[in-house]
Structure 1
Amino acid sequence: MSLLDLLHLGAKPPVPSPVDELIQWDQTLSVGNPMIDNEHREIIHVLNRFYADWITAGHHLDVEEELHHLSALVDTHFANEEELMTRRHCPSLTDHIQDHRQMQAELRAITASFTTLGSAKLEARLLRFIRKLVMGHVLSWDMDARDYLRA
């Protein structure tokens, strides 16, 4: 069972995720906009790299580099969403932006403190962030705003 299954509180995905994936991309994560969907895929790819590194004994990732890469992807993605939602006069834009800023602040805090966190604490904080990003944001906020994000 993947960690995403656990985040879904035991709900089983339609297709089992490969063992080295935390999150498997499928249409439930699509908002119907190729740019936004591709950004979601890339963010998920980075999160899956973290997960694959956690479940192997080697731990070959440069965590600092990966966190900075993830932050850059998230910042670009949020800016693109906000620009699109602004142009289309999305009524939930203000709250959506507030959610973006909270997640950006949390990711910055993780990045700033990762060297002082033990491995278990880093994993726990990243898993909480991943849950907020995927479950709380993509599957909630972005799906609610789907009509304003579609191509």
Structure 2
Amino acid sequence: MIIWREALSVGVDLIDTEHQELIRKLNDFMEACTKQSGKDKILETLSFLKSYTVEHFSDEESLMQEVEYPDYPVHKQIHDGFVNKVEELERSVLEKGPSVLSTIKLNRLLVDWLINHITKTDVHIGEYIKNREAAS
């Protein structure tokens, strides 16, 4: 289970709220996996991720453009890559059916996203905004 903590905060309320929603869904999925029902929950989680990424990435990308975030193009590529991975995994599950392997892949994808993207990439957006406001 992943607990929201300050290290996950970007410092932008909208983005932090959306990240907290992602953590809740990840925790729901992880709990289902520990109860041996991850295969039953995988399509629901993938469906959530597809709609979540449309809304969240749109919000985050709009913010980056609004504040003229210099790393926007690279950040957008990272978002697009994540969307492609989610879509690829969903296609695989729809074609072959849910499996233990697909639940493991989804679990890894989500945990990796939280650990690497939010704490190592998204956090820079908040820092940039904070520094920009301080310079004004």
Q: Structure 1-normalised TM-score?
A: 0.77
Residue by residue over 1:98-145, the C-alpha shift from the partner in whole angstroms, topping out at 9 and shown as x without a partner, is: 000000100111111114155221122113311331122101110122
Label 1:110 to 1:60 Cα distance change in 2 as closer, same or farther (>3 A): closer
Q: How many residues were matched structurally?
A: 130
RMSD value, Cα: 2.1
Label 1:60 to 1:131 Cα distance change in 2 as closer, same or farther (>3 A): closer
Q: Which runs of 5+ in 2 are unaligned?
A: none
Q: Is 1:92 equivalent to 2:71 in the alignment?
A: yes
CA distance in 2, matches of 1:123, 1:65: 12
Letter in 2 for 1:131: V
CA contact (8 A) 2:39 2:100 kept: no
Label 1:65 to 1:131 Cα distance change in 2 as closer, same or farther (>3 A): closer
Structure holding more helix per residue: 2
Q: Which residue of 2 aligns with 1:146?
A: 126
Q: Structure 2-normalised TM-score?
A: 0.84
Residue by residue over 1:46-91, the C-alpha shift from the partner in whole angstroms, topping out at 9 and shown as x without a partner, is: 1111100000145584432221112211221111000000010001
Label 1:60 to 1:123 Cα distance change in 2 as closer, same or farther (>3 A): closer
- Percent identity over the alignment? 27
